[in-house]
């Protein structure tokens, strides 16, 4: 499975505690933890238990996927003694941190600062540290008649030698209650931060306190009637915003949702707050915000979050009507508007997309392939392959690309919800060739005249090259599939708009 957090022997098995600080901060920072929470989690986790390195790791068999079929998915079979208990080998490190490894205590910090530490190796050969000037005060886990000297991981000593970590660690050393409180809060955050807002919690132990990492929302203050919604739709339609702008602002607001941790989404209208309103990918969407904010203030009937989503409804319905179809896009009001002080700017910055294939946007070329990033985005939005395909095809013809790019806009009727994207993508009249060696952008030339008709990114051409996606594209490209495509697009669109509406479930 590989390392979950950081290499406990230091970067590249260097055995250097100080050099591990950057990796620790990066890893725990990606989990939304600051320095205090990081120290509390490491120390608290290492107050209890031990690591396992009774013998050389060469005695441990392959992981479950690589193990022989007869191991039935278990893997890591050990040939060292019994393979369990005193013979257990997992990380290869053999460390017991405290005098009471089955009871909560402050011994981790006491031992960390009381003794001098020298580098040594575990029975498995892994780099770790031992308290050279300590008596044998650590109980042997399997023989009550034996004691050991305190031991630590390389990364444990980082909490003593990194200047900022040391300040926090010494405070916890001198104030065990502060450590207890910090660990309790950090542990709760660690184990609940993928559950979404507090409204999803159940049971009698739900904390009354609102914590900023839960992305708290205020109570609803609007309850728009059906007539209010109709009036708002007319106001949006008459606002002067184009179909592309209406669709873009709604997508920018809703598409931040991540199924992995239930964060992001349209509820809260955080598109209007920092940091989202400053993201490059949202430049076009933010330009439409003042118009919608004015409508919201003048009407006083709905939240800005609802009006942003309603703008997308108006855009899609107008585009379908222009294509000759009368479509009703479902809309469920009830969203609220978050305040800036309810928004953790630093943590929301982690939601900024490095790519959004639905908008043909990519900020960096050093991370995976464009088509892989599109699929990753779709997975975070909990979309199926057909849903992703319908959305991309629809957003291309609606002109929702980042910065007005023409890549993938395989239509002469921008703003009309047609199936032109699929028809022209699969049209054999066009031959596709990369524009340069990076093979990120392509030109579609008429095979007879050589004229460049369209341009595309990898996030466009994948729908013709991948066998699964091509099969879906061929359905939508069919001469009798226009209405099916529009209905599928609307269903997928509404799904994305409502991903964070846990109150509708």
Q: Which domain holds residue 445?
A: 358-480
**Residue 415 carries which DSSP code?**
T
Instruction: Encode pLDDT of 307-353 as tens digits.
Output: 999 999 999 999 999 999 999 999 999 999 999 999 999 999 989 99
Compute the mean pLDDT over every residue in the chain, rounded to the nearest whole number: 97
Using alpha carbons only, give the angle 183, 184, 188 rounded to the nearest 5 degrees. 110
Q: How far apart are CA 397 and CA 413, in angstroms?
A: 7
- The 3-state secondary structure of 282-323, one letter per residue: HHHHHHHHHHHHHHHHHHCCCCHHHHHHHHHHHHHHHHHHHC
Q: Is residue 106 part of a domain?
A: yes
Q: Is residue 374 part of a domain?
A: yes
Q: Is residue 232 part of a domain?
A: no
CA distances 22 to 16, 26, 133, 165, Å, are 12, 6, 29, 11
Q: Is residue 411 part of a domain?
A: yes
80-85, Cβ contacts within 8 angstroms, sequence gap of 24 or more: 80/54, 80/55, 80/56, 81/54, 81/55, 85/142
DSSP characters over 339-360: -GGGS-HHHHGGGS-SEEGGGT
Maximum Cα–Cα distance for the chain, whole Å?
A: 89
Residue 307 near residue 266, CB atoms below 8 Å? no
Domain boundary among 180, 205, 220: 180
Q: Is residue 19 part of a domain?
A: yes
Q: Is residue 304 part of a domain?
A: no
Residue 61 near residue 67, CB atoms below 8 Å? yes
**Total of domains in the chain:** 2
Domain boundary among 132, 152, 180: 180
How high is the pLDDT of residue 505?
84
Residue 299 near residue 236, CB atoms below 8 Å? no
How high is the pLDDT of residue 4?
62
Q: How far apart are CA 182 and CA 109, in angstroms?
A: 14
Query: CB neighbours (10 Å) of residue 65?
Result: 8
Domain boundary among 147, 180, 213: 180
Residue 35 near residue 168, CB atoms below 8 Å? yes
Tell me the CATH number at 435: 1.10.420.10
Q: Is residue 487 part of a domain?
A: no
How high is the pLDDT of residue 1?
38
Please report, in angstroms and rounded to a whole number, the separation of the first and last CA atoms in the chain. 35
Residue 220 near residue 336, CB atoms below 8 Å? yes
List average pLDDT for each run of 10 residues in the chain, which is 505 residues long. Answer: 75 96 94 97 98 95 95 95 96 97 99 99 97 98 96 99 99 99 98 96 96 97 98 99 98 98 98 98 96 98 99 99 98 98 94 97 94 98 99 99 98 99 99 98 98 99 99 99 99 99 94
Instruction: Encode pLDDT of 392-429 as tens digits.
Output: 999 999 999 999 999 999 999 999 999 999 999 999 99
Q: Is residue 145 part of a domain?
A: yes
């Amino acid at each position: 499975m590989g390392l979950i957090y950081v290499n406990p022997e230091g970067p590249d098995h260097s055995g250097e505690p100080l050099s591990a600080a950057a990796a620790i901060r990066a890893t725990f920072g990606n989990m939304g933890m600051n320095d205090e929470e990081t120290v509390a989690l490491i120390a608290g986790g290492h107050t209890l238990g031990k690591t396992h390195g009774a013998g050389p790791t060469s005695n441990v068999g392959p992981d479950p996927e690589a193990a022989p079929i007869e191991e039935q998915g278990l893997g890591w079979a050990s040939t060292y003694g019994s393979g369990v208990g005193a013979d257990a080998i997992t990380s290869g490190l053999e460390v017991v941190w405290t005098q009471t490894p089955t009871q909560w205590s402050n011994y981790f910090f006491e031992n960390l600062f009381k003794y001098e530490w020298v580098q040594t190796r575990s029975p498995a050969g892994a780099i770790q540290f031992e308290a050279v000037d300590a008596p044998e005060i650590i109980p042997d886990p399997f023989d009550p008649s034996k004691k050991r000297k305190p031991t630590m991981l390389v990364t444990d000593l980082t909490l003593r030698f990194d200047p900022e970590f040391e300040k926090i660690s010494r405070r916890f050393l001198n104030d065990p209650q502060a450590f207890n409180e910090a660990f309790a809060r950090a542990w709760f955050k660690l184990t609940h931060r993928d559950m979404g807002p507090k409204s999803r919690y159940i049971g009698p132990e739900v904390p009354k306190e609102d914590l900023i990492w839960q992305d708290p929302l205020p109570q609803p203050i609007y309850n728009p009637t059906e007539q209010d919604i109709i009036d708002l739709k007319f106001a949006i339609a008459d606002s002067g915003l184009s179909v592309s702008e209406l669709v873009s602002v709604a997508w920018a607001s809703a598409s931040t949702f991540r199924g992995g941790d239930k964060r992001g989404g349209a509820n809260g209208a955080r598109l209007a707050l920092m940091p989202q309103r400053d993201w490059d990918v949202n430049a076009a969407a933010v330009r439409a915000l003042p118009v919608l904010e004015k409508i919201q203030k003048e009407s006083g009937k709905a939240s800005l979050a609802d009006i942003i989503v309603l703008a997308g409804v108006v855009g899609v319905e107008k585009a379908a009507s222009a294509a000759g179809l009368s479509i009703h896009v479902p809309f469920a009001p009830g969203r609220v508007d978050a305040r800036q002080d309810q928004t953790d700017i630093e943590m929301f910055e982690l939601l900024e997309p490095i790519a959004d294939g639905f908008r043909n946007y990519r900020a960096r070329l050093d991370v995976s392939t464009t088509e892989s990033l599109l699929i990753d985005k779709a997975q975070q939005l909990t979309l199926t392959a057909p849903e992703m395909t319908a959305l991309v095809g629809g957003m291309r013809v609606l002109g929702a690309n980042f910065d007005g790019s023409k890549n993938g806009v395989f239509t002469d009727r921008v703003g009309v919800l047609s199936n032109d994207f699929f028809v022209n993508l699969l049209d054999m009249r066009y031959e596709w060739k990369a524009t340069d060696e990076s093979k990120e952008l392509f030109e579609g030339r008429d095979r007879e005249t050589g004229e460049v008709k369209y341009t595309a990114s990898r996030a466009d051409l994948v729908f013709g090259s991948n066998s699964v996606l091509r099969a879906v594209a061929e359905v939508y490209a069919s001469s009798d599939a226009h209405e099916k495509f529009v209905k599928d697009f609307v269903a997928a669109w509404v799904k994305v708009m409502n991903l964070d509406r846990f109150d509708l479930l």
